[in-house]
């Protein structure tokens, strides 16, 4: 593959207790504390944030930057960007039409995995399976809003920067090897073939539905794509 990748990731701002029921969508709007973009060929890392939460104007500038880089020949790559990052960015920027197009055209590696296998894999599991540095110990997306609210902004910015670096490294390493490897919950290594490299969201949706009868709760593609069909 000769793609010029642009890795992208956001961190949300709203504090949600782990004891509160329901999924993240029930707590919207979540706000964006910060985001990061990383260009593969120039290694240009940009950290995006405001004084507190990113304003609509600041989020809009991020959307415009992503769209411009796509026009310049870059392919956006994320891990669950379809089901999370772009959905949130559409709401926070007030630019749903632009975000829907970016989301449909980009490479969401986790969505590709779901379409091919019927279940998802965590970013950290894939990083470890590919022999790459993963998330810092004790750090995850649920802790980031807490640290941001406590004023530990630099810790969160370093975290989101590490996430986009990991995303980009996984994308390129998997395509170079023609497969993705990850560490399952059992601790055993698993792998998935990538004969044609990573597929865009639109391309991944064209994959045949995997056999999921053995699963008690198979993942649904519509859980990721549902917001694309909503009126803007």
Token pair for 192 = 């998935």
What average pLDDT does the segment 140-153 reach? 88
Q: Residue 141 above 80 pLDDT? A: no
Among left, alpha and beta (phi > 0; psi -120 to 50; other), residue 32 is: beta
Instruction: Assign 77 to helix, strand or coil.
Output: strand
Instruction: Return the pLDDT at 121.
Output: 95
DSSP one-letter code for 166: H
Instruction: Report whether 232 contacts 137 (CB < 8 A).
Output: no
Kindly list the distances between the CA atom of residue 188 and the CA atoms of 95, 130, 149, 157, 208, in Å, as whole numbers in the listed order.
42, 13, 37, 32, 26
Q: Which tens digits make up the pLDDT trace of 100-127? A: 999 999 999 999 999 999 999 999 999 9
Q: Residue 21 above 70 pLDDT? A: no
The overall average pLDDT reported for the chain is: 92
Cβ partners under 8 Å of residue 44, min gap 6? 38
Report how far residue 161's alpha carbon sits from residue 9's, in angstroms, rounded to the nearest whole number.
8
Range of the domain at 53: 4-229
Q: Count Cβ atoms below 10 Å from residue 128 Cβ, excluding itself.
A: 17
Q: Which tens digits make up the pLDDT trace of 185-227? A: 899 999 999 999 999 999 999 999 998 888 888 899 999 999 9
- pTM of this structure: 0.94
Confidence of residue 18 (pLDDT cuts 50, 70, 90): low
What average pLDDT does the segment 49-71 reach? 96
CATH of the domain at 225: 3.30.420.10
Confidence of residue 139 (pLDDT cuts 50, 70, 90): low
Range name among 29-38, 173-182, 217-226 with the lowest pLDDT average: 217-226
Report how far residue 53's alpha carbon sits from residue 45's, in angstroms, rounded to the nearest whole number.
20
Confidence of residue 15 (pLDDT cuts 50, 70, 90): confident
How many structural domains is the chain composed of?
1
Confidence of residue 17 (pLDDT cuts 50, 70, 90): low
Closest CA to 125 of 144, 110, 147: 110
Q: What is the dihedral of CA 208, 213, 214, 215, to 10 degrees?
A: 80
Report how far residue 77's alpha carbon sits from residue 55's, in angstroms, rounded to the nearest whole number.
24
What average pLDDT does the segment 149-169 reach? 95
Cβ partners under 8 Å of residue 208, min gap 6? none
């Amino acid at each position: 593959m000769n793609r010029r990748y642009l890795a992208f990731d956001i961190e949300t701002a709203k504090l949600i207790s782990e004891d509160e029921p329901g999924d993240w969508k029930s707590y919207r709007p979540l706000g964006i504390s910060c985001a990061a973009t990383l260009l593969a060929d120039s290694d240009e890392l940009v950290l995006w944030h405001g004084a507190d939460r990113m304003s609509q104007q600041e989020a809009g500038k991020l959307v415009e930057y992503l769209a411009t880089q796509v026009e310049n020949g870059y392919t956006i790559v994320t891990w669950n960007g379809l089901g999370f990052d772009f959905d949130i960015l559409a709401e926070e920027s007030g630019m749903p039409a632009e975000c829907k197009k970016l989301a449909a055209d980009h490479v969401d590696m986790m969505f590709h995995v779901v379409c091919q296998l019927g279940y998802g894999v965590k970013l950290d599991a894939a990083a470890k399976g590919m022999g790459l540095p993963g998330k810092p110990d004790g750090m995850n997306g649920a802790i980031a809003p807490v640290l941001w609210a406590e004023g530990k902004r630099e810790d969160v910015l370093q975290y989101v920067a590490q996430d986009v670096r990991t995303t980009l490294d996984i994308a390129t390493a998997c395509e170079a090897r023609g497969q993705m490897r990850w560490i399952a919950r059992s601790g055993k290594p698993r792998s998935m073939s990538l004969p044609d490299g990573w597929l865009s969201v639109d391309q991944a949706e064209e994959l045949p539905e995997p056999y999921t009868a053995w699963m008690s709760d198979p993942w649904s593609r519509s859980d990721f794509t549902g917001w694309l069909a909503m009126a803007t």
